[in-house]
């Protein structure tokens, strides 16, 4: 299986399909590159080089004790780009992966990244504070940490409901989709998943968003119960020089079903534009 070696020796697993302009897909917490499998296939079939990696601590990558922070995550993407010799890159990220894509583009992507797209992404910052009074209280993230520590298997099973909106009347999310969320989540190391909670909740991407000088497409589900749209996408779009926001009525945080179909159409229209 293909791996690249990060600066600290961590082995980062990646998938690399097709040829053409490269698209790098970054996954959400606590998943892995499998979350983007459909989009990888569609992109490779459409004439792009489709790449997705397992973030360190997740999936098949090394479960490092250190380096579980956003700067290191973005540096790992930069190493992947260097190793594969990529340029004219489109970066796409969901949830925590949206933060990773934004930080990589802002801090490592100048002259290499041509477009950025996010879905249900965490920027600008999730945590409630004096500077961000509309954010999510730290108690909510403490509950996530407690769930990961005490019974992560059941916690992930339960989390799959609000993640995909399966707790909403009329949901068509299958048990199989929820089971796959659990499967991917259980691949993440306990320590690494725990540490990443602070990363996705406390990292401030305000300056990264301001630094992005390429076109950006920001997608978000209106009924996102994990990363509320008003605290994320609707703030992020005002910080980027050339960004377009699309909010999907009734759509959840997780990318599946009718939301996935519509989002993929919009993503590929953005790629081609």
Residues noted as catalytic: 95, 224, 253
Burial class (CB in 10 A: 0-12, 13-18, 19+), 233: buried
Helices (H), the chain: 37-45, 70-84, 96-108, 138-164, 175-187, 190-202, 206-211, 233-236, 257-272
**Peptide linkage before 181 cis (omega within 30 of 0):** no
- Cβ within 8 Å of residue 248, ≥6 positions away: 219, 220, 221, 222, 259, 262, 263
Closest to 53 in 3D by CA, of 81, 29, 88, 27: 27
């Amino acid at each position: 299986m293909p791996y690249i070696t990060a600066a600290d020796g961590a082995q980062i697993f990646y998938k690399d399909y097709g040829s053409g302009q490269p698209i790098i897909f970054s996954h959400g917490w606590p998943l892995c590159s499998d979350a983007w499998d459909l989009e990888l296939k569609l992109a490779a079939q459409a004439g792009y080089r489709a790449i997705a990696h397992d973030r360190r601590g997740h999936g098949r990558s090394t479960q490092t004790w250190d380096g579980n922070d956003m700067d290191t995550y973005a540096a790992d993407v930069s190493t992947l780009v260097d190793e594969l010799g990529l340029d004219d890159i489109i970066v796409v990220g969901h949830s925590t992966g949206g933060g990773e894509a934004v930080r990589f583009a802002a801090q490592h992507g100048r002259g290499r990244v041509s477009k950025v797209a996010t879905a249900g992404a965490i920027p600008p910052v999730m945590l409630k504070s004096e500077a961000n009074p509309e954010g999510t209280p730290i108690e909510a993230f403490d509950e996530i940490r407690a769930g990961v520590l005490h019974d992560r298997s059941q916690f992930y099973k339960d989390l799959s409901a609000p993640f995909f909106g399966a707790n909403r009347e009329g949901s068509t999310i299958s048990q199989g989709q929820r089971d796959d969320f659990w499967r991917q989540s259980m691949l993440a190391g306990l320590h690494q998943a725990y540490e990443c909670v602070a990363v996705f909740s406390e990292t401030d991407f305000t300056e990264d968003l301001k630094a992005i000088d390429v076109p950006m497409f920001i997608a978000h589900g209106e009924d996102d119960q994990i990363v509320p749209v008003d605290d994320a996408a609707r703030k992020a779009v005002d910080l980027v020089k050339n960004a377009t926001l699309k909010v999907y009525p009734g759509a959840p945080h997780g990318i599946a079903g009718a939301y996935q179909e519509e989002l993929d159409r919009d993503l590929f229209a953005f790629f081609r534009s």
